[in-house]
């Protein structure tokens, strides 16, 4: 049996980081009268908005691992808080596009901005080869986690 200690330490660090990030977004949620799922939905919407793609209700539900009833409920809650609006897709009128409100984006930036800033700061201390290593590791983990059932 080989000695994987150095590698396992990093695996545990990754897990510890995801746990802390989860707790942080839970705190953001409860401070703003939301639930963790609502925050995850907002993040998915910001991501879509940033990459210029539009988000349908169904796709959002899939990303969150919810069924259709739960998806409707999430969008209802966010709409009630004014963080998103429903827009009928005119190209396929079965679809409902969910658009995030600019003020919700600002709210998120106010809370997560410092954390993101700190991460960027950390990354600025690395050279090109180190950044490539970090990028490669995270990409690999993301893809391995995304792979279907095991």
Partner DNA sequence: CCGTAATATCTCGTTCAGCGAGATACTTGG
Partner DNA sequence: CCAAGTATCTCGCTGAACGAGATATTACGG
Task: Using CB under 7 A, list all residues that contact DNA.
Answer: 35-37, 56-59, 61, 65-75, 77, 86, 92-96
Instruction: Supply angle C-alpha 83, 51, 40, rounded to 5.
Output: 40
In angstroms, give the least distance from the CB of 123 to its own copies: 4
Give me the residue label for tokens 């993301």: 142
The answer to the question of residue 7 lying near its own copies (CB under 8 A) is yes
Q: Using alpha carbons, list the distances in angstroms from residue 38 to 95, 97, 107.
A: 20, 16, 13
**Residue 108 binds which entry of DNA, its own copies, none, CB below 5-8 Å type-dependent:** none
Nearest CA to 108 out of 54, 31, 18 is that of: 31
Stretch that binds its own copies, among 1-9, 53-61, 78-86, 96-104 (CB under 8 A): 1-9
The answer to the question of residue 144 lying near its own copies (CB under 8 A) is yes
């Amino acid at each position: 049996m080989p000695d994987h200690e150095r590698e396992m330490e990093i695996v545990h660090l990754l897990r510890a980081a995801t746990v802390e990030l989860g707790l942080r977004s839970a705190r953001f949620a409860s401070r703003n009268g939301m639930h963790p799922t609502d925050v995850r939905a907002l993040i998915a919407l910001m991501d879509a908005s940033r990459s210029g793609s539009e988000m349908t209700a169904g796709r959002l539900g899939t990303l969150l691992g919810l069924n259709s009833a739960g998806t409707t409920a999430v969008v209802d809650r966010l709409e009630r808080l004014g963080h998103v609006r429903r827009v009928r897709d005119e190209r396929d009128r079965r679809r409902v596009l969910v658009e995030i409100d600019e003020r919700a984006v600002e709210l998120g930036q106010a809370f997560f901005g410092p954390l993101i800033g700190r991460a960027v700061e950390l990354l600025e201390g690395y050279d090109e080869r180190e950044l490539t290593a970090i990028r490669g590791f995270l990409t690999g983990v993301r893809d391995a986690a995304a792979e279907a059932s095991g």
